[in-house]
Structure formats: structure tokens, C-alpha cells
Amino acid sequence: MNDRNTVTGGREPARHRRVLRRIGEMVLAPSLFIGAAALLVSAGYLAGRLDTPGLVADAAERPASSPASAVRPPPPLPPVDVLPAPTERTSSPPEPGASGPVAEAKERAERRKPRPMSTPAPVTISIPDMDIAQNVVELGVKGSVLQTPKDYGDIGWWRDGPTPGSAGAAAVVGHVDSPDGPAVFYQLAGLREGAEISVLRKDGSTAVFAIDRVERYSRNAFPSEQVYRVGGRSALHLITCGGDYDREAGQYEDNVVAYAYLMDIRDANPADEQKETDS
């Protein structure tokens, strides 16, 4: 299997595994020794550098009665599936140009001046092609651990990274499946070029993105610097696990990343703002 593959067929995870998929915690630690369902980052991240792979998901099969929200289940702990996290805060590396029907729109979008880093935080993310409109939860640091979404239907945004609509690539993560079946990002690999994503933000404005491409990477060849870049054109990168499930290792072999670029920012409807003021 190639280290990098462009996803063209909308490959879905196996349906009959009943695998517990959890986007785990992001731990600020310099090495990759983690508990179950942990999302790792090195201690240097908040200072501007991440050296440790980061997003992990608990892929062990568990009884249906096992609590879905448990952060650290009792021993024996299963292996974990590692999705690399940022390795370095950096300006935007060159990315392949768009081709196809949205190339012209992408070129115009790249000329937009990104909003400053003070851009309001995301509230919900809507993806019509996936038939979802889900809440966004902020992933904040508590002690040495970055908390993660407890609900399989929520999308997690790392609040210390770029904000959707600001300069740089805002990174959001979601579960691919759950003990009961598909989760919020189950269909992420099937998104097509040009598919729109709307991010409603706290000030009532909406940042509209369009899918450029969807890639699948081997866990050992995850392009952290590109996926988690800081600075450069405004983008939204959506991340989950994918590829084949390795039952022996208890983890998926790949990671799926959907790359989207900023098309437009729509201001809040004045009438809606007035309603909120009157209520």
C-alpha cells in the first residue's frame, strides 16, 4: 500500500467490526507512551512546536455495555491507532494546485485576505454532502491533556490552532465509527471536489469552504506540517482514521484528511442579530 493515496472511491471503514472508535485525548508529552484513546502532542506544541504524533483512537472491540465516554477503561488496555499531530508551527508549505471545475473559484479564494487570528470560534459545521450539521466542541488543555469530544456526533476543533476563516489551516477531528455503527466522519473519505462546508461562528457569520481533495496517508507518513500548518491561506482540514483495520494491532492503518479552502465569509443576517438582542 502506498504511503499516500488520493481517495477517489469514497472508501468506507468495514461495517461489521463493531469497533469502538474514539478520538482520544491530546497529551502534552515528548514521547509516544499513552493510555487508551489519547490524542498526543509534545510539550513543545504550545510553545510553537510539536514533535510527537497526535490523534489516536481506541479501536478495540468491546461489549456494547462498555461506557462510550470512558477516557481510560480498565486494564487490559488495547493498542491504539495513532494519527500524527503537528510537528512544527510553520508558514504555509506549497500545496498542489487545484484542477477541475472548482479551480477558478479556488484561485479567487486564494486572493482573499484572511481574517485575523481573532476570528470568532466555530459553533457548528454543516456538510450537506454528508448530511450532517453538527456541534463543534473546543479541545482545550487541562493539566497536560487536551480534552476531546465525548459525543460521537460532535466535531472537535483544537482551539489553540487557527480558527476557521483566519490565516492558516484550522484542524477539526471526528470519530469514524462508534460501538453502535457509523459516527460523524464516517463518510469523510467519500467527499468530492467542490463539496461545500459551512462553519457557523460565534458572531453569527458563516465561513464557507469547498473541498479541494481528500487524501489517505499511512500513519508512518502523515504530513503533520502540511495538515496542521499555521499561516498562509485560510483552509479547513478535516481528519479521521481510515484504510484497512488491522485486527492484530487493534488499529486502522491509515488516516484520512479532507482539504478544504475558504470560498466566502457571509456576515450575520441583521434580522437574526436583532432577534437575539430582543430575546
Q: What is the pLDDT along the chain (279 residues), one digit of tens a residue?
A: 456 666 644 444 444 343 333 333 333 333 223 233 333 333 333 333 333 233 333 333 333 333 333 223 333 322 333 344 454 444 443 343 344 455 556 555 555 544 444 789 999 999 999 999 999 998 765 664 445 678 889 999 988 899 999 999 999 988 888 889 999 999 999 999 999 999 999 999 999 999 999 999 998 898 988 988 989 999 999 999 888 888 888 778 898 999 999 999 999 876 655 555 555
CA 202 to chain centre: 19
DSSP string, 156-188: EEETTSPPTTBSSEEEEE--SEETTEE-TTTTG
C-alpha cell at 207: 465561513
How many Cα atoms occupy the beta-carbon half-sphere of 19 within 13 Å? 31
Name the residue type at position 208.
V
Contact 214/227 with Cβ under 8 angstroms?
Answer: no
Q: Which residue stretches of 90-248 are H helix?
A: 103-110, 224-227
Dihedral sign, CA of 141, 146, 147, 149?
positive
d(CA 55, CA 255): 10
Contact 178/37 with Cβ under 8 angstroms?
Answer: no
Ordered domains of the chain (ranges, CATH): 93-278 (2.40.260.10)
d(CA 55, CA 74): 21
